[in-house]
Structure 1
């Protein structure tokens, strides 16, 4: 009897853990998910989660910028998001004289708020299922590439009526490995202003060392305000604009969190590959992650040295470095987690089961008999060229900035109107050069050209390597010195003068353009190696997903992340990363002092902030234990793009902002690991303490809806 009872308990525990997996579309929530949410402590009305005709929670959760999430928290358009999400805008607003990255910023009133040029905040308007309108027009005889081209054409027709409206974004997005399609509409607000941001010593406390690592002590938040015209509609930046009145405003809870409390995130997770095959995962590890780590190691070492030595360069390259290092460390952690969590073995078990199911029925065998073999052969045959392609992209597309500038100019049409030409120059060229240091890029160029030559076979080298060998004796430093001395692209004024002449011949003969064109030609060659099998991979992945869903008709599948609004539900809880080690579910301000290192770029904190924490004058922001809680853990299912996502309690009140995942589960984009996968969030009480007591902006607190 005892064994039977134990077996039942273990079965229930396994189900409960797995049930919390998923990045669910709010409009597709099923009965099982809703039941599980209520079991965990959700009491908010389900019909107020997603409603396109009445105000609902979906109206408060936004796309912040181009790759983050945020939440509306006041009737006057305040948006809470992460510090690292606002980092690019804060960096653009900063200078050596007004270093908002180092010192923070708090507007005393709305007129003092700083317009963040180019920053957008997008509110979800609607999601319409257009699967039938798409797939019913796809002939079965088409190849996979022809199929995709046809779908693109049909999608273009569906969004055509919105394409000239700068305040509406329309996208047709595939789900379930391109077996389902939605037309998604957003209202895009283009007048967004910085209201409050803490110093990086708070918002980025721990830097790269603590990135993806628990325990954390990072106040990763920033506050912006959305402005609209007098009719509450999106508008260009204007002094006449007024704060936007959101359809729904999220109340902010000071009750805090306890172990096993309900936790729910709603945000915009960017990309997952939960249904990727074992062969695809191996290619991700060996042909994408490893080359990316290799190249960014070299580039970031050069950047880091220059940034530490010069404040001007530190400000210019702060956002670039943060973006580069984030995915560099993610790639390292993902490869480690895949091995430690036996991800490949789990995938192989699923594939074995699927193959047995396919072979067990003639109809299934006719439909899916070649699916797994197609995937295996396509991936294994392209591992080497895929690695060379990653080296190429990291070196020539993401590494050497001068090449990116030249590629931008290639899209410059000298025959367009003067107005369009000037807009192109302002938006694409001048903005890029504001954060550019030619001497630094020259060092990167020499290092990366050498690294690429060492890692990639000569047949995939751009033709410029012949010039370097013949004219510079293979010396990359000499070539770099010559290029940066003779190119007009290394100086903005010189480049603008060249563009004004409309002298295409001089433009195309510039050494920077010569390098860019040479790289482009090599890129086409690499693409040509991969293209024949790309069709097979697309087909194999679509069939693989369809077969999995057909094999398990009673299972509630959720679609991979596609930077569309998703909900995840779970609980506040710690975890055991390894034998004899247990991590509690929260951290306190005491940890800031324990990690503090004077003048260290990652762990230094200004004395006035330390004094505020040391005073223990936390007021209503203190936890019941009298301490100031900083970060907390939950088992919510998130990924990149969820940064800035609101974390809600069971009443749909704001309790935190999600900003990171944990090191042990960086394989989470490929497979959910319920025992160790955790979301790291900043406690909203720490956010409010910093705004109120440290940044001296109590007027912001007064705008919030704080339940008593």
Structure 2
């Protein structure tokens, strides 16, 4: 069902594409891009950006975890990424006694570095165009179902050569809305250790209040190390492993930058929808973002109150809250920016122009005449189902945790008791570690009530009948009953129930009854939405083909899909409104101005404040003698780029990208060069924090520093 939320209608932006727009495949940088990069100040050899034979810049930029970017900065496997990218690992190692979220973590030797189970770092090996291989035999007459079957089958054949190596990951990824396909192969390292994390008062300074805002004063970084076996190959954790020697590690520049200096990011942007139609944008705003905002507002208020009252709860829910809040605020900012920039109206004007172009040619009419009408009809007809689907997902998939826990067991397809117990321990142990049933019990009635108020009766799971009949519509009483009688409230009780009676015992559990009821409701939504998948897929792909046929000389930048991309641009501020001008960098002065001991998001420990007030910056000072904390550039990034290295013209590291700006949160749909900015932490502030605030000079000594 989620697929409907991510399907792309593909349209060309009304404005002419700026040279700095685009998340480009490194392997396919065209002459126009290379020339523009040099014009902006890039002096590093173009052929040293990407190579599969020789060490190149691409070898230093990694996938960190499952959804972030990192960069190798030493020949001992040291990785810089964002604090919020390392947040999950920091939280896993934290407890009330060792609160690394609050106090930070510093290892003063390699033996002190903490292995983080489940954390992987992936290095790109190659990117290969396999379009011809996976579309062999497909014609215009091939149905969508047949087309997908052929592509899946041929892709499976190609990927078979990688399936027996657990340290290689290969996937075939569609580009240009399924008009092109690439094989991407990664080497995966599974022994990754936490080396350094600043206190959250640095790494998360400003919290939700400052998220997506400029000016920022957040030291959003953390440090990890990749370990390998003695042959420098990927390995599972072992005490005998040694620091990995990457093919390439980047030098670090503390020479700073000026306004309009060259800036370049390389990273793994997750998803954009730059070619989405006006109808698709309307659906995103009204049927996805609005319901998401509403449900998460309710849930997060309950979570926040409990987290502020109890440190143990704060630690357990810190990652969950951060993830939920990030997309909650993003949805609000996106809707505001799309409205302010009149993006729907611009797309509508473009659609009118494009329809005229199609109608002007008999050949184009035959190939593409039904594309626009079909997209309009399918998006308009699915407005309500998608809205219901969003309320459903936010309530039952992302909201009520005990329903998700029970569903994990319900869909396990394991009936043997011993196998089921092993499955539950493997899959749910970490989940239960960060689960507070008393808090979930508060969330359940609030979200059940909201869901009922927002969706038609036919989309209510059958459990609502139980609530009405047995509890007379009282959601609090229902929640009390569920949590009093369910074995899913903690792992030990769940394992005992399985040991006693297996799945049959769990079938009577209130949480399992809820999960099965939810599963039935999910099936109805899938049945409503699944018929439109082939319609959107086919027309989106044909529409992209039409755009490329219409403009054969245009260099199209493919939408982001979590593959390695390059964005080039310049350092610079912006003007979000009349009489408002934002400078291109922030300083430590802003930390002292914002610091508030009574606000958890802006509270800073005294030893950090004393250090900043002393202003003994040494070689990390900027040209004005102060400490730069963050800076702006007009690089084109999105989620997944978090932790991306920001390079100067010599491909030296000057910062780590960690955010975008509020005024351009429409950036996933349309690039606005005058407004869209990447917010990065200055590498000098990173090094200063490591060296002087947290007293860990050994890490500085590992780096190749350009002074």
Structure 1 599/81 Cα, relative in aligned 2: closer, same or farther at 3 Å?
A: same
Q: Is 1:193 aligned to residue 200 of structure 2?
A: no
What's the offset of the Cα at 1:527?
1.5
SS at match of 2:668: coil
The residue that corresponds to 1:284 in the other structure is: 284
What's the offset of the Cα at 1:134?
1.1
The residue that corresponds to 1:506 in the other structure is: 505
What's the offset of the Cα at 1:117?
1.0
SS at match of 1:535: helix
Where do 1:157-556 residues align within 5 Å?
157-414=157-414, 424-501=423-500, 503-556=502-555
What's the offset of the Cα at 1:541?
1.0
The residue that corresponds to 2:9 in the other structure is: none
The answer to whether the Cα contact below 8 Å between 1:177 and 1:545 also exists between their aligned partners in 2 is yes
Deviations 1:189-229 (A, max 9, x none): 11110101000000000000000000000000000000011
Deviations 1:92-145 (A, max 9, x none): 100000000000011010000011111110000111111001112335434324
Whole-Å separation in 2 of the counterparts to 1:415 and 1:388: 33
Deviations 1:14-73 (A, max 9, x none): 999810000000011000000000000000000000000110000000000000000000
The residue that corresponds to 1:599 in the other structure is: 598
Deviations 1:315-351 (A, max 9, x none): 0000000000000000000000000111112211221
Whole-Å separation in 1 of the counterparts to 2:39 and 2:17: 13
What's the offset of the Cα at 1:352?
1.6
The residue that corresponds to 2:123 in the other structure is: 123
Whole-Å separation in 2 of the counterparts to 1:257 and 1:405: 49
Whole-Å separation in 2 of the counterparts to 1:547 and 1:140: 14
Whole-Å separation in 2 of the counterparts to 1:29 and 1:86: 31
Q: Is 1:666 aligned to residue 665 of structure 2?
A: yes
Whole-Å separation in 2 of the counterparts to 1:146 and 1:609: 62
The residue that corresponds to 1:8 in the other structure is: none
SS at match of 1:19: coil
What's the offset of the Cα at 1:417?
10
What's the offset of the Cα at 1:151?
2.0
TM score, norm. by length of structure 2 = 0.96
The answer to whether the Cα contact below 8 Å between 2:421 and 2:498 also exists between their aligned partners in 1 is no
Whole-Å separation in 1 of the counterparts to 2:352 and 2:92: 52
Whole-Å separation in 2 of the counterparts to 1:246 and 1:492: 40
The residue that corresponds to 2:674 in the other structure is: 675
The answer to whether the Cα contact below 8 Å between 1:414 and 1:502 also exists between their aligned partners in 2 is no
Whole-Å separation in 2 of the counterparts to 1:417 and 1:269: 42
Whole-Å separation in 2 of the counterparts to 1:153 and 1:194: 40
Whole-Å separation in 2 of the counterparts to 1:169 and 1:484: 41
The residue that corresponds to 2:144 in the other structure is: 144
What's the offset of the Cα at 1:415?
5.1
Deviations 1:126-183 (A, max 9, x none): 1111100111233543432442243223222221232242211111100000100011
Gaps of 5+ in 1: 1-13
Whole-Å separation in 1 of the counterparts to 2:17 and 2:42: 17
The residue that corresponds to 1:108 in the other structure is: 108
SS at match of 1:523: helix
The answer to whether the Cα contact below 8 Å between 1:462 and 1:522 also exists between their aligned partners in 2 is yes
Whole-Å separation in 2 of the counterparts to 1:159 and 1:675: 43
What's the offset of the Cα at 1:427?
2.9
Whole-Å separation in 2 of the counterparts to 1:589 and 1:362: 63
Whole-Å separation in 2 of the counterparts to 1:594 and 1:206: 12
How many matched pairs? 694
Q: Is 1:612 aligned to residue 615 of structure 2?
A: no
The residue that corresponds to 1:582 in the other structure is: 581
SS at match of 1:273: coil
Whole-Å separation in 2 of the counterparts to 1:193 and 1:148: 40
What's the offset of the Cα at 1:413?
4.3
The residue that corresponds to 2:697 in the other structure is: 698
Greater shift, 546-555 or 96-105, is seen at 546-555
Deviations 1:258-304 (A, max 9, x none): 10000000000000000111100000000000010011001000000
What's the offset of the Cα at 1:531?
1.7
The answer to whether the Cα contact below 8 Å between 1:254 and 1:706 also exists between their aligned partners in 2 is yes
SS at match of 1:647: strand
The answer to whether the Cα contact below 8 Å between 2:421 and 2:499 also exists between their aligned partners in 1 is no
The answer to whether the Cα contact below 8 Å between 1:354 and 1:551 also exists between their aligned partners in 2 is no
Structure 1 153/410 Cα, relative in aligned 2: closer, same or farther at 3 Å?
A: farther
Structure 1 150/684 Cα, relative in aligned 2: closer, same or farther at 3 Å?
A: same
The answer to whether the Cα contact below 8 Å between 2:189 and 2:228 also exists between their aligned partners in 1 is yes
The answer to whether the Cα contact below 8 Å between 1:263 and 1:569 also exists between their aligned partners in 2 is yes
What's the offset of the Cα at 1:431?
1.1
Deviations 1:333-373 (A, max 9, x none): 00000001111122112212211111111010000000000
Whole-Å separation in 1 of the counterparts to 2:160 and 2:324: 35
Whole-Å separation in 1 of the counterparts to 2:370 and 2:681: 48
Greater shift, 312-321 or 440-449, is seen at 440-449
Whole-Å separation in 1 of the counterparts to 2:453 and 2:80: 46
Whole-Å separation in 1 of the counterparts to 2:304 and 2:517: 29
SS at match of 2:675: coil
Structure 1 637/406 Cα, relative in aligned 2: closer, same or farther at 3 Å?
A: same
Whole-Å separation in 1 of the counterparts to 2:43 and 2:72: 21
Whole-Å separation in 2 of the counterparts to 1:331 and 1:590: 31
Whole-Å separation in 1 of the counterparts to 2:136 and 2:242: 46
